[in-house]
Amino acid sequence: MKAAWAAVLGVIGTLAIVAIGDLISEEVRVRLDQFPAVVIRLAGRRLPASIRGDWIDEWLAELRFILRGAEALPITRLIRGTRFAISLLLHGARGVDRELEGANQDHQELVDPLLGLRNRDSVSATATKAFIKDLESLSPGDRLRFQRAARRIMAGLL
């Protein structure tokens, strides 16, 4: 009788250990999967608050794209995601600074063709001034996105 109870308790103990092991394994898997996103948010803290949210969103979207092909491969996801996130942590803020400096320098490159279009296409001076004022009021991140789009559009117009 004692042997039967020992066997039952052994089976229950084994099942409990397996269940707890699975729970711990799943917890570790989820935490490791979230690690690159945490590092990206940490890298974003190095940016000015006015542009931080936009860049973090962009970087997280890029991370999702990078990890898209490795859904079932947890080690590959961890390596690819961590490599991308660490590169942003080490170099991301400097890259954004360079890009924003370039955007501020490129601002005049956008305004000059607009003035040329105004002269060529009879767009009113008031409308052009209002547009330039609106452009200058954009946040640096929004201005950069607008400038990228405007360059593509103007390449076809000019």
Work out the pLDDT band at 140, boundaries 50, 70, 90: low
User: Does residue 56 contact residue 41 with C-beta atoms inside 8 Å?
Assistant: yes
Query: If you average pLDDT over residues 53-68, what whole number do you get?
Result: 86
Domain segments of the chain: what residues?
2-157
What is the Cα–Cα distance from 26 to 144, expressed in whole angstroms?
A: 41
Taking only the tens place, the pLDDT of each residue in 28-60 is 888 888 899 999 999 888 888 888 888 888 888
Q: What is the pLDDT of residue 101?
A: 60
pLDDT for residue 68: 82
- For 5-35, how does the pLDDT look when each residue is reduced to its tens digit (9 = 90+)? 888 888 888 888 988 988 888 888 888 888 9
Tell me: pLDDT of 2 over 50.
Answer: yes
What distance in Å separates the CA atoms of residue 54 and residue 50, rounded to the nearest whole number? Answer: 9
